[in-house]
Amino acid sequence: MFNSRLSQVGRMVKQLTRAGQFTSVTRAEYLQSPYNCYPWPVKHRPFSTTAADNSHEEGNEEKEGISVTFVDKYGEEKEIKVPIGMSMLEAAHQNDIELEGACEGSLACSTCHVIVMDVDYYNKLEEPLDEENDMLDLAFGLTETSRLGCQVIAKPELDGIRLALPAATRNFAVDGYVPKPH
């Protein structure tokens, strides 16, 4: 008799669990139940009165910035956090990464040349301006995923991007090249 009751209760528990009804019982309903035999004092019962809130995690990326890895010509990697809205050139300078940037981001050189190592990330970047393409044409070791570091701006989708620094950059002053005025 006792065993058959027990198996009946077991079946009911399984059915309720499958139907998800155990998870929909509210704290108030539970406390009002005449069958409530929870062994802990009310204040220690493991109910949550707040809904799951992940917004602080999303906000963290905004505050801390995205993760960017620079890989130098020797294959040495350095991972840094770059605040949203900051250029990769500025971020490199703030973190002692050797990325020259002779014209300080005014699109008049190619010394901030970086190579995006993953084409998926490259495709997430804004289209280059004509001026950037003109400067890239003069860059040493140009590749299909080359960009100018001063024009790559941190945004959440770029979290995890890896940027290779070319083996050399073409410095107009050193090469004796002087861009013609327009």
108 touching ligand FES, by CB under 6 A: yes
How many other CB atoms sit within 10 Å of the CB of residue 143?
Answer: 15
Q: Which one of residues 90, 101, 115, 152 is an interface residue with ligand FES (CB under 6 A)?
A: 101
Residue matched to tokens 């929870």: 38
88 touching ligand FES, by CB under 6 A: no
- CA dihedral (88, 147, 106, 99) positive or negative: positive
Smallest separation, CB 87 to ligand FES (Å): 8
Residues 6+ apart with CB under 8 A from 121: 158, 160, 161, 162
CB nearer to ligand FES: pick between 139 and 158: 139
Smallest separation, CB 164 to ligand FES (Å): 16
Task: Looking at residues 116 to 145 of the shown chain, list those that interact with ligand FES (rule: CB under 6 A).
Answer: 135
Residues 6+ apart with CB under 8 A from 83: 64, 65, 91, 154
Contacting residues toward ligand FES, per CB under 6 A: 89, 101-105, 107-109, 111-112, 135, 148, 150
